[in-house]
Amino acid sequence: MIADWTERFQGTAALPRSVRDRLLKEARIVEMPKGAQVFGPANVPDSLFFLYDGRIRVSQSSDTGRDIVLYRVDAGESCVLTTACMLAEEAYNAEGMAETDITAIVLPKLAFDRLVAEEEEFRKFVFAAYSRRLIDLLRVVDDVAFGHMDVRLAERLLTLAGEFKEISTTHQQLASELGTAREVVSRILQDFQKREMIAQSRGHILLLDKQALRERAASN
Amino acid sequence: MIADWTERFQGTAALPRSVRDRLLKEARIVEMPKGAQVFGPANVPDSLFFLYDGRIRVSQSSDTGRDIVLYRVDAGESCVLTTACMLAEEAYNAEGMAETDITAIVLPKLAFDRLVAEEEEFRKFVFAAYSRRLIDLLRVVDDVAFGHMDVRLAERLLTLAGEFKEISTTHQQLASELGTAREVVSRILQDFQKREMIAQSRGHILLLDKQALRERAASN
DNA sequence: GCATGTTAAGTGACAATGTCACTGAACCCC
DNA sequence: GGGGTTCAGTGACATTGTCACTTAACATGC
């Protein structure tokens, strides 16, 4: 069904045919349905994880029931947080959740080690993945510590909408994106509505004035 | 002055003598005074950085003038954020600041690459360093997004004091540790003072009741 | 259709934190 | 010991978080 997944990743596509053939033998292909927990506190992986298709949302939960999204893993990327936690063997309360149906490549630790040692391209790929996530997290820290909620929400609405004008999501889900409470999201969305930047109905938000949202997202 | 720095790092102490001798030739030893900026937005490093002696505080600044401490690099650790940013070649506004006089080992990227490729021990060391920092940042996100300020402050006071009872720091510096405003720190410290958990004088805080502080740090 | 249960969203009061403009106190240096 | 500088205290107010609740929309079974 997947002819040759090594095509898909920057870190593997450039490798010699022989190495790729070996990888195809060593790795398992795993499919999971939308909504499945890919990894989590009760589910620490012992292998390396490369996302072939779909999208994973990595979030952190507090004991008080609030969540915050740390970053998303897209197709073609590796999920280094699993790697990190595997290597550090430390507890953590981050969770990876399949946001769509996903197909992933699971590479045993041993094969991963050999690849990192032997193949510079792959090594670059892995380090770049780590760096990317570190920088993602720096951004999250910056937002949470210093950002204003209306700005962050406007930004997130635009991101979630992409090229479309409508988002299917609840206030609670948006709150979990940003690490805040539902009531706060409701308040701000009401304000946006009053200003005719958006229209709302149960479970849906229509972005009426993306330009205004962009301005809000860029301010302060 | 430094006989053989390769003794000092987990990633290098276990290497064969020949490799370590080569490293001693390839790396430079750098000393910086307390207060110096080790790296920063205007000062992106092009080499790898291992801290031989001293301590570095890595913090992030907002445009509004507030700061937050992300983590500290202690002697024997590497500073992977520089690595990350070097590799990602992305802008970032984190800053490394020498908290004491420091002595560091600066390894050219090429030598680093070779070492990662050839030496498993070193590779483990580097990955562990990355993982550690990722997890440090997860902790920061958790604290900032979900933690209460009094709890975080109590915790930080205990950490900064270590085994001692007195801390020499200003309210402003504490605020910069936690990513909040000086006034907030002042308010909470006044409360601590009223409860006789601490005593204050200009530039100094005396921890009178560490047990109470520990309880506060553990609560909520 | 309609009753009923469930989930989503709205509301008001209050607490915690962030921001601003200012005052007062401690220290430093000549 | 006067004058400047840094540190800390203060009150007013804005934003955000928390709580307890109400109201509205949808889903389901009858």
Q: State pLDDT tens for residues A190-200.
A: 999 999 999 99
Q: Rounded mean pLDDT of A204-213?
A: 96
Kindly identify which residue of chain A lies nearest to residue B110, measuring between CA atoms: A120
What is the structure's pLDDT at A91?
A: 61
* Nucleic acid strand C within 7 Å of B150 CB: yes
| pLDDT value of position B87 | 59
Q: Identify each DSSP E strand in B152-197 by its residue range.
A: 166-168
Compute φ and ψ for A193, nearest 5 degrees: -65, -45
Q: Bridge-partner residues for B60, per DSSP?
A: B68, B94
pLDDT at position A90, please? 62
pLDDT, residue B91, reads: 61
CA distance A124 to chain B (A): 8
The pTM of this model reads 0.91
**Structure confidence at residue B135 (pLDDT):** 87
Assess whether A153 (CB) lies less than 7 A from strand C.
Answer: no
Residue B183 beta carbon within 7 A of nucleic strand D: yes
d(CA A44, CA B13): 30
A211, A81, A138, A201: which is closest to B82 by C-alpha? A138
Dist. CA A86–CA A108, nearest whole Å: 12
Residue to mutate among B114, B146, B149, with most A CBs inside 10 A, is B146
B142–A144 C-beta distance less than 8 A: no
Report domain extents, chain A. Answer: 5-145, 147-217
Amino acid at B138: L
B129 Cα to chain A: minimum distance (Å): 9
Q: How many helices (H) and strands (E) does chain A have?
A: 9, 10
Segment A184-207 shows an average pLDDT of 96
The CA distance from B156 to B154, in Å, is: 5
CB B139 within 8 A of CB B159: no
Q: What is the pLDDT of residue B132?
A: 87
3 state DSSP class of A94: strand
Answer whether B92 sits within 8 Å of A66, measured CB to CB: no
Distance from CA of A186 to the nearest CA of B (A): 19
The beta-strand segments (E) located in A138-202 are 166-168, 198-201
Tokens 């700061």 belong to B67
Distances (CA, A) of B158 to A37, B166, B191: 37, 10, 16
pLDDT in tens, A107-133: 998 899 889 889 888 988 888 888 888
Q: Point out the residue among A63, A132, A140 whose CB comes nearest to the CB of B88.
A: A132
Partners of A113 on chain B (C-beta within 8 Å) are 120, 123
Find the radius of gyration of the CA atoms of chain A: 20
Under an 8 Å CB criterion, which residues of A touch B? 60, 62-64, 66, 68, 70, 80-81, 83-85, 87-88, 90, 92-94, 113, 116-118, 120, 123-124, 127-128, 130-135, 137-138, 140-142, 144-146, 179
Contacts of B80 in chain A (CB under 8 A): 134
Chain A residue with Cα closest to B68: A145
A82-107 per-position pLDDT tens digit:
777 665 656 678 899 999 999 999 99
Phi then psi dihedrals of residue A170, to 5 deg: -100, 165
Tell me what the pLDDT averaged over chain A comes to: 91
Token pair 């020498």: residue:
B98
Q: Calculate ∠ Cα A60-A64-A68, nearest 5°.
A: 25
> What is the C-alpha end-to-end distance of chain A, expressed in Å?
48
- Please, are residues B70 and B47 in contact by the beta-carbon 8 Å criterion? no
Instruction: Give the closest residue to C18 (Cα–C1′).
Output: B181
**Domain B147-217 falls in which CATH fold?**
Arc Repressor Mutant, subunit A (1.10.10)
Find the largest Cα–Cα distance for chain A: 62
SS3 at position A103: strand
Among the residue ranges A47-51, A101-105, A211-215, the one predicted with the least confidence is: A47-51
Residues 6+ apart with CB under 8 A from B103: B2, B29, B30, B31, B51, B52, B53, B54
Ranges of chain B whose pLDDT falls below 50 = none
Domain A5-145 annotated CATH 2.60.120.10: yes
Give chain C positions with protein CB within 7 A: 7-13, 16-21, 26-27
Residue A148 in this model has a pLDDT that exceeds 70: yes
Check whether residue B203 has its CB closer than 7 Å to nucleic acid strand D: yes
Helix, strand, coil percent content, chain A, rounded in steps of 5: 50, 25, 25
Distance of CA A150 to the CA centre of its chain: 22
Instruction: Tell me which residue in A130, A132, A138 faces B94 most closely, judged by beta carbons.
Output: A138
d(C-alpha A139, C-alpha A141), whole Å: 5
Residue A90 neighbours by CB under 8 Å, 6+ apart: B131, B135
Residue holding tokens 């709302």? A200
Q: What is the per-residue pLDDT for A85?
A: 66
